[in-house]
Amino acid sequence: STTTALPTEDAIIDLARSGLSACGADLDALLAGGAEASSTITLRSPITGQVLGQMAADTAESAADTIGKAHEAFLAWRDVPAPVRGMVVQRWGQLLTEHKEDLAKLVTLEAGKTPSEAAGEVQEMIDICELAVGQSRQLFGKTLPSERPGHRLMETWHPLGVVGIISAFNFPVAVYSWNTALALICGDSVVWKPSEVSTLSAVGANALLTRAIEEKGGPAGLNGLLVGERAIGEALVDDPRVELLSATGSVRMGREVGPRVAQRFGRSLLELGGNNAAIVTPSADIDLALRGVVFAAAGTAGQRCTTLRRLIVHSDIAGELVDKIVAAYGTLSIGSPTAEGVLVGPLVNQASYEKMQASLEAAQAQGGEVLCGGTRVLADAAADAYYVEPAVVRMPGQTEIVEDETFAPILYVMEYTDFDAAIELNNAVPQGLSSAVFTSDLSEAERFIARSDTGIANVNIGTSGAEIGGAFGGNKETGGGRESGTDSWQAYMRQATNTVNYSGELPLAQGVEFL
């Protein structure tokens, strides 16, 4: 069903103004700055498609300056004891708790998420702050016995330097905090290039961190923010002062960024696209599977990296489950996320809508049958906003288009009869982020966990909706990075092995004789 109530242009501006001002930034000052700047970025909301105005963007020079200041800040910050660094992150978490709704408003405004999902995203920021504060007292190194008498070996961890963060539009603030909360307790400074689509959310999240740093006496420059499109991201990619580049976005972006960082022997942490599958077996609780599938496939309008895109269902139950999914899709309320009861908001922009249409056409050309959805709605009310009915497409097999990630709500359905073949189908795509099995059979669940090649492999729960504390990330073209898990902090530090000799002699390792 479609909810037709769309906010007025003034209501959208109000959302931006009130959300930002509560977080400590001023929309009118940003817009005034944009009117004068030589390089600008367009601020826009997918809810109505309206342009809010222009904001000043960074240039190559200003980006280099910000990275330089972050490097200076790092030199001071690395000497602050880790638990004291944790106090800044603790304060950021408190401010995020206080301003959860304000920041969530900006996420709704720019990413089109429902208030509940936007608040969930900010909650994830609060959760990672809590994890990081505890972690600040647990930057453990191991000690080990030496093969030489009177010697000791230990591994120690040290601050790394400037951490560059490039993030995607669909988690405009959470991914930033996953990296930043840990980087800060590890003694690093950060410079963030958020998605050009979600600049205001970034300004809000960053303003709260600036306040926490100022209140706790941290160095200025510790949290740099670069506003702009991908060319500004490239400043982080190529600058040798950026020791670690953590980049979240499409596989295309990772293919460009990864080799360039490697070229200068920098470190990169890549969190790229997914193409996630769920297998539903005959022993599954069908109603539970139904809810898991519908949230994972249609929630966030299909714009999560962990969105369920492929359903692999046993042929004995395929008819029943698919009928139920199509019926459930018919009850989803589509429209402005600011309207009461809406569950499916807009696609981010026209390009995303066009890509969805092209994929649906390709799927049909490859033998697919659209069972429901795919149609644009609300075009009359908002010509520049792109709302669509989530689609379910029955496919004859895992054709070429099914191997692609289309960042929109399309669920491809395929049938299986042999469970091991279903797992092979799950694995037979280039991406490797998330997967799920719905089953009551313990041996099926364990076989799936052992063989699914994704970074996240769930049982009786959908592919999306991860929790802080479990390592998040994927394999193959998803890039191999892991964030916010039990040992994720190690990515933000450099490890050293130290051999300490208290013997007064100088025996060489492996019994080597010299001088």
Annotated catalytic residues are 271
**Looking at beta carbons only, is 230 or 447 nearer to ligand NAD?**
230
Among 256, 285, 361, 384, contact with ligand NAD (rule: CB under 6 A): 256
Binding of ligand NAD by 257 (CB under 6 A): yes
Among 478, 482, 488, 491, contact with ligand NAD (rule: CB under 6 A): 478
Binding of ligand NAD by 229 (CB under 6 A): yes
Residue 315 burial (10 A CB sphere; 0-12, 13-18, 19+): exposed
**Could you please report the per-residue DSSP string of 334-363?**
BS-TTSTT--B--BS-HHHHHHHHHHHHHH
Among 58, 127, 234, 243, contact with ligand NAD (rule: CB under 6 A): 234
Q: Helix H segments across 241-376?
A: 251-263, 286-298, 315-331, 350-365
**Looking at beta carbons only, is 212 or 269 nearer to ligand NAD?**
269
**Could you please report the per-residue DSSP string of 120-180?**
HHHHHHHHHHHHHHHHTT-----EEE-SSTTEEEEEEEEE--EEEEE--SSSTTHHHHHHH
Q: Residue 242 carries which side chain, given as an amino acid letter?
A: V
The residues in 65-124 that bind ligand NAD, with binding defined as CB under 6 A, are: none
Among 25, 111, 272, 413, contact with ligand NAD (rule: CB under 6 A): 272
Q: How far is the CB of 405 from ligand NAD (least distance, A)?
A: 6
Binding of ligand NAD by 464 (CB under 6 A): no
Angle at 168 between CA 164 and CA 172, to 5 degrees: 95
**Looking at beta carbons only, is 168 or 181 nearer to ligand NAD?**
168
155 contacts 509 by C-beta, under 8 angstroms: no
Site map for ligand NAD, 127-166, x if CB under 6 A?
Answer: ---------------------------------------x
Binding of ligand NAD by 58 (CB under 6 A): no
Spatial neighbors of 336 by CB under 8 A, at least 6 apart, are 3, 5, 6, 7, 47, 48, 342, 345, 346
Cβ atoms within 10 A of the Cβ of 426, count?
A: 26
Among 55, 111, 181, 237, contact with ligand NAD (rule: CB under 6 A): 237
The strand order across the sheet containing 242-248 reads: 223-225, 189-193, 162-166, 242-248, 267-271
- Could you list the beta-strand ranges (E) of 220-275: 223-225, 242-248, 267-271
Binding of ligand NAD by 404 (CB under 6 A): no
Dihedral class, residue 473 (left if φ above 0, else alpha if ψ from -120 to 50, else beta):
left
Torsion of CA 322, 326, 327, 333, to 10 degrees: 140
Q: How far apart are CA 77 and CA 92, in angstroms?
A: 16
Among 187, 274, 292, 485, contact with ligand NAD (rule: CB under 6 A): 274
Q: How many residues bind ligand NAD (CB under 6 A)?
A: 29
Single out the segment in contact with ligand NAD by CB under 6 A; choices: 218-226, 227-235, 375-383, 444-452. Answer: 227-235
Binding of ligand NAD by 168 (CB under 6 A): yes
Binding of ligand NAD by 224 (CB under 6 A): no
Among 250, 364, 427, 460, contact with ligand NAD (rule: CB under 6 A): 250
**Looking at beta carbons only, is 207 or 272 nearer to ligand NAD?**
272
Residue 378 burial (10 A CB sphere; 0-12, 13-18, 19+): buried
Single out the segment in contact with ligand NAD by CB under 6 A; choices: 17-25, 77-85, 248-256, 313-321. Answer: 248-256
Among 118, 213, 385, 433, contact with ligand NAD (rule: CB under 6 A): 433
Among 249, 390, 409, 432, contact with ligand NAD (rule: CB under 6 A): 249
**Looking at beta carbons only, is 43 or 272 nearer to ligand NAD?**
272
The contact set with ligand NAD (CB under 6 A) reads 166-171, 193, 195-196, 229-230, 233-234, 237, 248-250, 253, 256-257, 271-274, 305, 405, 407, 433, 478
